[in-house]
Amino acid sequence: GAGVSQSPSNKVTEKGKDVELRCDPISGHTALYWYRQRLGQGLEFLIYFQGNSAPDKSGLPSDRFSAERTGESVSTLTIQRTQQEDSAVYLCASSLGDISYEQYFGPGTRLTVT
């Protein structure tokens, strides 16, 4: 079956512009995660959705970052007024259940803020 997909694969934007990143999880996966990975670094947790529960936003670095998820399907991560330090690969993952389940990752969106 289809894996996790993300779009766009690459995004170049000017400082100060807003960007929207999309994630389509695996069908039936109730959990969805967003991570950020700066060049040469490990993954940094951003936000977690689980079913219809309130999302865990504890990893969002500032109020410029927000994310939404429609039911148990597509999610969008929005970064407003982008800054150069937002440049990174943004990875989405989904899983069948909570944190104890294996996470399946998408290919990521490489964001470059000029």
Partner 1 sequence: SQQGEEDPQALSIQEGENATMNCSYKTSINNLQWYRQNSGRGLVHLILIRSNEREKHSGRLRVTLDTSKKSSSLLITASRAADTASYFCAAQHQTGANNLFFGTGTRLTVIP
Q: Which positions lie near partner 1, rule CB under 8 A?
A: 4, 33, 35, 37, 39, 41-45, 48, 50, 56, 58-59, 89, 91, 93, 98-100, 102-108
**Minimum CB separation from partner 1 for residue 16, in Å?**
26
Strands, E, within the chain: which ranges? 5-7, 10-13, 19-24, 31-37, 43-50, 65-69, 75-79, 88-95, 104-105, 109-113
- Which residue, 21 or 91, is less far from partner 1 as judged by CB? 91
- Which residue, 76 or 105, is less far from partner 1 as judged by CB? 105
- Which residue, 84 or 100, is less far from partner 1 as judged by CB? 100
**Minimum CB separation from partner 1 for residue 108, in Å?**
5
Q: How far is CA 41 from CA 29, 38, 76, 88, in A?
A: 27, 5, 23, 10
- Which residue, 4 or 19, is less far from partner 1 as judged by CB? 4
**Minimum CB separation from partner 1 for residue 106, in Å?**
6
Find the length of the chain.
114
Residue 94 CB-density burial (10 A; 0-12 exposed, 13-18 middle, 19+ buried): buried
